[in-house]
Structure 1
Amino acid sequence: MPILRHTLIGAAALALAANAAATTVRIHYDAGQSRLMVRGDKGPMTWSKGAPAAAAGANVWVYSWPDALGDISMKPSLGDGRVAIGGTYRLAAGSTADIYPFFGAPQGKLSIVDGFESPQLKNKRKLRIYLPPSYQENPAKRYPVLYMHDGQNLFDAKTAAYGVEWGIDETVDRLVAAGKLDEIIVVGIDNTPERIPEYTPCCDPKHGGGKLDGYRAFIVDTLKPHIDKTLRTLPGRESTAIMGSSLGGVASVAIAQRHPGVFSKAGGVSSSFWWNNRDMIANLPARVPVKFYIDAGTKDDGLEETVRMRDAMLAKGYREGADLLFHAADGAGHNEKSWAARVEKPLLWFFPWRGVKN
C-alpha cells in the first residue's frame, strides 16, 4: 500500500503540473531494473521517502511539480535505498533542470598515458588523467576539465619531485562527496628536462627560458583537442581551467591571458612572478574575461611579487572576488605540502557545486 500511495501521489503531481506552470527535473541515469525516485523538501517528496519519477525515454526519468510550491531542494535516489552522492540540487520555480547523478563510491580513478607526443616541442611526456567517480557509472555525463602542470607531483608521492604529492585526487574526491565541488576531469601534464624553458617566456637574465609559446601551442592545439576527442568533456571555455605552481603558475597565467577563448579560469599557485625582473607584472596585458586565482605563502614564497601582481591586475580593471581571487597563505612555503593544504581554494572557486551545467 505505501508504494501504491506514493505512485498515485507522484502521478497526481505530474498530472497537476501538466495543467499548470511546472518545475521539472530530468534525471539522466541507467537505473537497470531499479527505479529513480525523487526526494525533496516540499509537496509529495520528503527527505526520507522518494516520489517515483516517470520513465521518459532511454535512461531518462522525469518528475514535475507545480510552480506554486516555489523553489525546491531535491536529490534522486535509486529505488528507496541509495541516495545520490554529492550535493543537494536546488531548482527555482518554473525551471527545467537536467541532472546526472551517481550512486557508487565517491572515488575517481587515475589513468596514465605514456609517450604523449608534442609536435611543437619535438618531445614526449606522460599524461596523468584523473577521471571523476561517476565517469564509468553514468556515461551520459560530461565534465569540466582542469589542466595542470608538473603532473608527476599531483597524484603519487613516489613520482613527486620531493616525495610529497599535491593529493589532487583525494581532495577532489572529498569535496565531491561533501557536495561542495562539481565533478571534474584533471589532466596532469608531466614536465620534461626542459621544464624551465617550457614554462617561461623569454628570457630571464640568469635562467634563460623562452619556450612557453611552444608549450602553450602544445596544450591548446594538440593536447586539448585530443582530450576533448577521447574523453567526455565539456569543451567550452566556461568549463576549462588551467593551473600550476611556481613556474607552472607563470605558465598558467600567461597561457590564459593569451587564450581567453579557450580557458575561463587560471590558477597561479606560488607563481614565480619575479621571472625576468618582474616583466609579467610590468607589462601586464589588458584585462581579459578570465577568472584568475593567485596566491603565495608568507614564508620565502614570493609574496611581495604576488601582491604586486594583484595590484597591477586591479589597476587593469580586475575585481577582487569577481574575476580575481588573491590569497596569502600564513606560514606556507614554496613546496607541495603547502600547495596540497590550500588547493581546495582555487578548486572551489573554479568549480563550485552546480557551477557548470552539463
Structure 2
Amino acid sequence: MKKILILVLIFTAVQLRAQFPELSFGQVIRHEHFPSALVSPRNVDVWLPDDYSTGKEYAVLYMHDGQMLFDANLTWNKQEWGVDETMGKLMGGKSIRDCIVVAIWNTPLRHMEYFPQKAWQYLKQEEIDTLKKVSRSAGLPPLFENDIISDNYLKFIVTELKPFIDSTYATIKGPEGTCIAGSSMGGLISMYAICEYPEIFGGAACLSTHWPGIFSTENNPVPDALLLYLHNHLPYPGNNRIYFDYGTETLDALYEPFQLIADSIMREKGYMAPIWITKKFPGAGHSENAWRERLEFPLLFLLGR
C-alpha cells in the first residue's frame, strides 16, 4: 500500500511538472487560483529573469492570455509568444530595462472580461440585442451570453493583483514602471486599461487590436463604439506611451481601416513619437507565432533604455 501511495505521489508530481512551462530564460512562479472578490479566480504566472534580485527594482509588464506566453507544448494551438526568449535576449543585451512579467491567465469569460465596458454604453439597445445573439461560429455559445465585466477585470488587476505583486516582488510601483500588453481582445483591454487607469499604467501595447469586437465587420456597430470611446477617454498626452500594430492576413486583414481611424484620433489628441507608434506588418496573420516574431518591437517601445 505504501509503495502504491509513493507511486501515486510521483505520478502526480510528474503531471504537475508537465503542466509547468519549460523556459529558455528565467523562471516562472505560479500563483494558482489567485483569489478575487471581483472576478473568477485564475492562475497568475510571474516570470523572473535569471539574475532576479531583491536588491534591485524591476519594471512590471502585465500581460493577458497568460497561459499562451511561454511554452507551446502547453497551449491549445501549440503556439506561444516566446516571452522568455525575447525578454531574455533584450535584457541580456541591455536593450530594455530590468523587468518582470505578470502573466494573467484568461478564463471562459474572456470575451466579457476583455471587451471595454464603457464602449458598450455607446451602443443602442437594438444593437446590443443583436450582438447578444452573435457567436464565433454556428453551434457555439453567443460571444456576449453574459454581462460585460471588463471594469471588474481591470479593478481586479489594479486593486487586488498589483498590490500583491508589489508587496511580493521587487518592483517599481509607479506608472513609470508599470505597463500592460495583449493581443486581439487582449489589445482592446490593454487600450481600455490605459484609458481607465492612466495613473497606474504608464504604457500599453495593443497588438492586432480586435476593433470589430466580433468576427465580422458587416453591419457591425462595435468599431464605431470602441473608437468613440477612445476619442472621449484617451489620456492627455505626456505621461503615457501607447503602441498599436496589425498584420494584413487572416483575422488581422479586418483591422487596418479601423486602426487608421484610431491613428487619426491619436494625432488629433496630440500623440506623436516617441509616446505613440502604430506599426503595420504586411503578411502577418493573427496568431501567437505572428506576435512572437514581432514581440521585440512593443517591448523596446515600452521598456527601451
TM-score by structure 1 length? 0.65
- What stretches of structure 1 of length at least 5 have no aligned partner? 1-105, 354-358
Q: Contact between 1:273 and 1:309, CA under 8 Å: does it hold in 2?
A: no
Are positions 1:287 and 2:224 aligned together?
no
Q: Which residue of 1 aligns with 2:43?
A: 126
Tell me which structure has the larger Cα radius of gyration.
1
Question: Residue 190 of structure 1 is aligned with which of 105, 110, 124?
Answer: 105
Are positions 1:316 and 2:231 aligned together?
no
How far apart are residue 108 of structure 1 and its match? 1.5
C-alpha offsets along residues 148-198 of structure 1, whole Å, 9 cap, x if unaligned?
Answer: 000010011123231100000111101112221222100000000110001
- What stretches of structure 2 of length at least 5 have no aligned partner? 1-23, 121-127, 135-142, 214-221
The correspondence of residues 147-186 of structure 1 with structure 2, limited to 5 A, is 147-186=62-101
The structure showing larger relative contact order (alpha-carbon pairs under 8 Å, at least 6 residues apart) is 2
User: Identity over the aligned pairs, expressed in percent?
Assistant: 35
Q: Which residue of 2 aligns with 1:278?
A: 224
Q: Which secondary structure does the structure 2 equivalent of 1:196 belong to?
A: helix
- Residue identity in the other structure for 1:144: A
Q: Which secondary structure does the structure 2 equivalent of 1:348 belong to?
A: helix
The correspondence of residues 13-24 of structure 1 with structure 2, limited to 5 A, is none
Question: Residue 225 of structure 1 is aligned with which of 157, 163, 188?
Answer: 163
Q: Which secondary structure does the structure 2 equivalent of 1:277 belong to?
A: helix
Runs of 4+ in 1 over 4 A off after TM superposition: none
Q: Which residue of 2 aligns with 1:69?
A: none
Q: Which residue of 2 aligns with 1:42?
A: none
Structure with more of its chain in helix, by fraction: 2
Structure with more of its chain in strand, by fraction: 1
How far apart are residue 304 of structure 1 and its match? 2.1
Q: Which residue of 2 aligns with 1:306?
A: 259
- Counterparts of 1:304 and 1:161, CA distance in 2: 30
- Counterparts of 2:284 and 2:228, CA distance in 1: 26
Cα RMSD (Å): 1.6
Q: Contact between 2:248 and 2:282, CA under 8 Å: does it hold in 1?
A: yes
Are positions 1:211 and 2:149 aligned together?
yes
Q: Contact between 2:223 and 2:258, CA under 8 Å: does it hold in 1?
A: no
Equivalent pairs counted in the alignment come to 244
Q: Contact between 2:179 and 2:203, CA under 8 Å: does it hold in 1?
A: yes
Q: Which residue of 2 aligns with 1:35?
A: none
- Counterparts of 1:117 and 1:255, CA distance in 2: 21
Are positions 1:242 and 2:180 aligned together?
yes
Q: Which secondary structure does the structure 2 equivalent of 1:248 belong to?
A: helix
- Counterparts of 2:110 and 2:116, CA distance in 1: 12
Q: Which secondary structure does the structure 1 equivalent of 2:44 belong to?
A: strand
Q: Contact between 2:205 and 2:302, CA under 8 Å: does it hold in 1?
A: no
The correspondence of residues 130-145 of structure 1 with structure 2, limited to 5 A, is 130-135=47-52, 138-145=53-60
- Residue identity in the other structure for 1:287: P
- Residue identity in the other structure for 1:345: F
Are positions 1:256 and 2:204 aligned together?
no
Q: Contact between 2:48 and 2:101, CA under 8 Å: does it hold in 1?
A: yes
- Residue identity in the other structure for 1:294: F
Q: Contact between 1:157 and 1:164, CA under 8 Å: does it hold in 2?
A: yes
How far apart are residue 201 of structure 1 and its match? 2.6
- Counterparts of 1:268 and 1:286, CA distance in 2: 14
C-alpha offsets along residues 87-138 of structure 1, whole Å, 9 cap, x if unaligned?
Answer: xxxxxxxxxxxxxxxxxxx9311121111012112x2100111011221xx4
- Counterparts of 1:186 and 1:141, CA distance in 2: 15
Q: Contact between 2:198 and 2:235, CA under 8 Å: does it hold in 1?
A: no
C-alpha offsets along residues 225-259 of structure 1, whole Å, 9 cap, x if unaligned?
Answer: 00001111111110000000000110011011111
Q: 1:129 to 1:108 in 2, by over 3 A?
A: same
